[in-house]
Every structure is written in C-alpha cells, then in structure tokens.
Homo-oligomer: A and B are copies of this chain.
C-alpha cells in the first residue's frame, strides 16, 4: 500500500453558473464520501480559514491515486500538492 499527503485548494471561478456550482459541489461530496467508505481516502480535514483541505490517501499505487484525484468533480477548480509519505522511524504503532 502507498500513503500520500494531499493538500487541495478550491478556487471556483466567481462567474461559474450557480447551479453548475451547486451540482458540482454535491457530486464532490458524494464522491469523497464513497472513497472514504472504501478506506482509500483515509483522512480529511478542513484548514481553518481556507477553502482547502488536507487529506491522507491510502491506495494501491500512485497510479490509482491519480485516477481518484482526476475523477474529483472539482478537479478542474483545484490546486493540488501531493507528497509521498513513508513510515517515520520514531512512530510507535504499525
């Protein structure tokens, strides 16, 4: 398994049609929750004061991660930063 740290900053254009916007945000939520249920989207937090999140993905491979991220309904409106993670030598569990 492969662990990735992803920061997503959402930047929806102000002139996007409000219905398209609402529908896209709703699909994003459903998609995200489905991935959380599958265990692949392992952690998800909101950064205080930002329309941004910090996520931890636990996937088969970087290829699978790209498939998942690219499938996000808000993908065209997000800046993403991806970092591969590994076990920390001081970590007590796992």
Contacts and interface: CB of A to CB of B under 8 A. Distances in A.
Copies in the complex: 10
A22 interface: no
Interface residues of chain A: helix, strand, loop or mixed (majority): mixed
A77 B13 CA distance: 11
B66 A36 contact: no
A76 B14 contact: yes
Contacts of A85: 45-48, 54, 62
Given A16-B14, A80-B49, A87-B63, A36 B92 contact: yes
B3 A91 contact: no
A89 B91 CA distance: 29
28 contacts: A3-B62, A4-B48, A5-B45, A6-B49, A13-B14, A29-B90, A33-B92, A36-B90, A36-B91, A43-B56, A44-B88, A46-B87, A46-B89, A47-B84, A47-B86, A48-B62, A48-B82, A48-B84, A48-B85, A49-B66, A49-B69, A49-B84, A54-B83, A62-B86, A65-B84, A66-B86, A82-B83, A84-B84
